Structure 1
Amino acid sequence: MQVAANISIDLTNQPRVLLNNCNMKLTAYPNSDEFLIDNYEDSGVKYKFEIEDVYCIVNEMDLADGLANEMETALMEHKLFQYPLISPQVRSFFIESNRLDSPATTLYTSKMPRRIFMGLVSGEAYNGHYNKSPFNFQPFDLRDVHIDYCGVTLPGRPMNLDFGNGKCAEPYLMLQEALGHTRNNTSCNSISFDQFKSKGFTIFGFELSPVPQDTNLFDLVRPTNLSIRLNFNKPTPSGGIYCIVYAEFDQIIGLDYQRNPIIDTVV
């Protein structure tokens, strides 16, 4: 079996190409076999994931000699090339079984992110289990989710969700807005309302910045503590659940004339 995928790192989350003569090293740390493999047969057989070969495909651009010389001159004069980009940060916290709520959990204490996405998975799937997928995000009969930041609570009123009866249109719309798929008919993230409701795609999205998706525009730095509060209609299941939070922050990576990286961030 052969697969290919994009490399999701900070430097690839922006449209600019990397300066020439830069040394770049990528290190990958695979998860356990129980986490990576889904055994839908439920046969009790423990499979093993083996990688025979891995390589990176890189596109190279040839510059005219005059343009390359101008770039080097500009780099010597201005001392620094800067790459504005979006830096993702992932946090998670555990919610014990038989709980009807999760008290406010502070996840980020530096500055306000552009946008965040949140999902719930079972404790067994999070820690690795052959019969459970760690990417199966279920609602777990969630009633309300609140994001507290900068003295503001989002959403402004309780949602009073009831996934069993299909009362979950508001978070589905907020997810599409956070992904930039609303108010147009040219793009879609392929998550239907039925998939969001009960098919393992229950992901909550929240926009916190006026420019959440534009890597060329930076919002003002707003130091704050961001916390999440959850309430459930029914007690959480045996084994507990994990709340996984993905947040995006502004960041700048600079390169000097010696190709030394300089990272400017307060995350």
Structure 2
Amino acid sequence: MNQERVLLNGCNLKLTAYPNKSEFLVEAYNHGNQRFKFNVRDVYALVNEFDLTDGLSNELERAVIENKMVQYPMISPQVRTFYIDPNRFDAPANTLFTSKMPRRIFLGLVSSEAYNGSFGTSPFDFKPYGITDVHVDYCGQTLPGRPMDLDFDNNKFIEAYVQLQETLGHTRNNFSCNSIDVGMFRNKGFTIFGFELSPVAVNNSIFELVRQTNVSVRLNFKERTPAGGLYCVVYAEFDQILNLDPLRNPMIESIV
């Protein structure tokens, strides 16, 4: 549920998985035209359960009935993509979200062949493709405040790398790390850009007031985009509240 609170007993929980096509799921390099098929034979769900004393269980049930609702603040992720035509030096403003401002967003570029599924490519191979600037427009503001003027070929990308680590919250402590080093960020398929739109972006226990806005992304390149075009994959996180009534009926409060 992307939050730390324990789910109440007596709740019906259903998990549904919709697998993509095999070309998207399987990486098979140097196998020519040979085709592969992804086959799921068995699935396991590991669940942690807590045994409560009778007194604590009764007290919990009484609190639920008195308060009428149990609230679970959580983070709701949303993914958007847009296509960038080949032979372009820029991608004009693409409005991705038109209601609530997200906490933070991450974006990366992937080839259209990999995005649509291919045994010889990975859909998670995010490369710079000659990008020079990334702009995120929201609430009448633009991030970053000034152009980054990136040049990956000449090792001018540290600002974007540090900004990714700041967005993930790793620069604020000494005990967490995403294992993406500078070399991986430069050209090893981990070129992902991060932007904090909210001052509480990395704190799951604090919510900000709802801010209605449009969020759009603009990109610039120093060289033409490759044949076949590119896809920009954007991952955003929004505030959301899951409510459970005494009968364990779920109700979700969100604006996305």
Q: TM-score, normalised by structure 2?
A: 0.98
**Cα distance change, pair 25–99 in 1 and its aligned pair in 2 (3 A):** same
For 1:157-236, list aligned pairs within 5 A. Answer: 157-236=146-225
1:55 CA drift (Å): 1.8
Tell me, yes or no, if structure 1 residue 47 matches structure 2 residue 49: no
Alpha-carbon distance between aligned partners in 2 of 1:166 and 1:236, rounded to the nearest angstrom: 20
Percent identity, aligned pairs only, is 63
Root-mean-square deviation (CA, aligned residues, Å) is 0.8
Gaps of 5+ in 1: 1-10
Alpha-carbon distance between aligned partners in 1 of 2:221 and 2:10, rounded to the nearest angstrom: 54
Alpha-carbon distance between aligned partners in 2 of 1:81 and 1:29, rounded to the nearest angstrom: 30
- Displaced runs of 4+ in structure 1, greater than 3 A? none
Q: 2:84 aligns with which of 90, 95, 105?
A: 95
SS in 2 for 1:182: helix
Partner in structure 2 of residue 5 of structure 1: none
Partner in structure 2 of residue 7 of structure 1: none
Gaps of 5+ in 2: none
**Cα distance change, pair 75–183 in 1 and its aligned pair in 2 (3 A):** closer
1:186 CA drift (Å): 2.2
Q: TM-score, normalised by structure 1?
A: 0.94
Alpha-carbon distance between aligned partners in 1 of 2:226 and 2:165, rounded to the nearest angstrom: 28
Alpha-carbon distance between aligned partners in 1 of 2:172 and 2:128, rounded to the nearest angstrom: 26
1:125 CA drift (Å): 0.2
Alpha-carbon distance between aligned partners in 2 of 1:72 and 1:154, rounded to the nearest angstrom: 47
Q: 1:75 aligns with which of 64, 67, 77?
A: 64
Alpha-carbon distance between aligned partners in 1 of 2:70 and 2:172, rounded to the nearest angstrom: 36
Partner in structure 2 of residue 117 of structure 1: 106
Alpha-carbon distance between aligned partners in 2 of 1:119 and 1:133, rounded to the nearest angstrom: 13
For 1:59-70, list aligned pairs within 5 A. Answer: 59-70=48-59
Aligned length: 256
SS in 2 for 1:72: helix
1:230 CA drift (Å): 0.4
Partner in structure 1 of residue 145 of structure 2: 156
